[in-house]
Amino acid sequence: MIKTVLFDLDGTLLNTLTDLSNSVNYALNSHHLPQRTELEVRSFLGNGIHNLIEKSVPENTPSELLEDVFQSFKSYYLQHGLESTAPYPGIISLLKALQQKSVKMAIISNKVDTAVQQLNKKFFSDYIGIAIGEKPQIRRKPAPDSVLLAIKALDANPATTLYVGDSEVDYETAHSAGIRCALVTWGFRDRLDLEDLHADYYVNSSHELMAVISEN
């Protein structure tokens, strides 16, 4: 039986795509670089915001310019990052149901830790008390560090822990931590791409995810 669920944040619990895409294009435009489509930005997500900017700028962009674009992105996203961001349909009801079943929960993200704390406080803190983002002393996903830290903090058993994410990074994170993985199809990757990973479970809705958690 699954007694602990660790959630990725962007693309799993929260739909942050529009705000991230707008922020990327603001930063690119500020430095006279070509824009990216929302679909392109979606494909770049999953491995932190610096990686997002590295992929968004043109190939062979000088490192100094890349860092300037990154700073522009961070400044803009800090001010505009919540204009369209919201939980995916059914997520709050799912978390409430899991809480009622005494399932332990945490958030694991490659987003900067301060932002992760703010987003958890705004959207999910009634249900999730532990949220772990990118910190200097913790290796980023797909390294297992943040997952193992959450398991220890929750006094959880890896054998009864499920990691829920939406990308190849999430699959690799769960695999490296030695726990089961469910990949959602509503996030930042297409189902066909996800199926190549051979995760333990694939879910198309919060109801399907609840069924997986309840039945396993």
Distance between CA atoms of residues 49 and 177, nearest Å: 23
Q: CA–CA separation, 215 vs 117, rounded Å?
A: 31
Q: How confident is the model at residue 137 (pLDDT cuts 50, 70, 90)?
A: confident
Residue 128: its pLDDT value, please?
A: 98
Q: Is the pTM of this model over 0.85?
A: yes
Q: How far apart are CA 94 and CA 90, in angstroms?
A: 6
d(CA 134, CA 139): 8
Instruction: Tell me the average pLDDT across 174-195.
Output: 95
Tell me: pLDDT of 112 over 90.
no
Indicate the pLDDT class of residue 124, thresholds 50, 70 and 90. Answer: very high
> Is there a contact between 16 and 85 (Cβ–Cβ < 8 Å)?
yes
- Could you tell me what percent of the chain has a pLDDT over 70? 100
The phi and psi torsions of 180 (rounded to 5 degrees) equal -70, 155
Cβ neighbourhood burial of 51 (10 Å; 0-12, 13-18, 19+): middle
pLDDT of residue 119: 94
The whole-angstrom separation of Cα 184 and Cα 95 is 15
Residue 210: pLDDT over 90: yes
> Hey, what long-range contacts does 116-121 have (CB within 8 A, 24 or more apart)?
116/9, 119/9, 119/14, 119/85
Give the C-alpha separation, 128 to 138, whole Å. Answer: 20
Smallest Cα–Cα separation from 21: which of 165, 188, 136?
188
pLDDT digits (tens, 9 = 90+) for 11-37: 999 999 999 999 999 999 999 999 999
CA dihedral of residues 45, 135, 182, 210 (deg, nearest 10) = -110
* Residues forming a β-bridge with 201: 182
Residue 74 is encoded by which pair of tokens? Answer: 């961070």
pLDDT in tens, 45-91: 988 899 999 999 999 999 999 999 999 999 999 899 899 999 999 99
